[in-house]
Amino acid sequence: MAQRASEPDTDTARAERYAARTAMTSALSSVRLSGAPARLSELAVALVAASVAVGDAPSLDHGAVQEAGDSARAAHQALETAAASHLR
């Protein structure tokens, strides 16, 4: 967020980003190792990729940031919907 607001990056902000990416990787591993259907794993991979794309979008390209955010929200919704269907 700091980079998007034209604020200098900090060690703390960088550490928080790395921690968030590590948490996503751990969550993805949990899904893959849980024995969940392949479709849920595929959707989890798509969500991680879309979430990383939000952070990687050029900070001054508001259209790219918005598009990446929309993609991440759609990926999240798709995973939630599929997981809910699986649990029924």
Q: State both tokens at 21.
A: 């990416």
Read off the pLDDT of residues 47-83 as tens digits, 9 standing for 90 and up: 999 999 988 888 788 899 999 999 999 999 999 999 9
Q: Is the pTM higher than 0.85?
A: no
Q: Do residues 40 and 86 touch, judged by C-beta distance below 8 A?
A: yes
Contact 36, 79 (CB under 8 A): no
Sign of CA dihedral 40, 45, 50, 52: positive
The domain locations on the chain are: 11-87
Helix axes of 62-87 and 38-56: crossing angle, nearest 10 degrees: 160
Around Cβ 59, how many Cβ atoms within 10 Å? 15
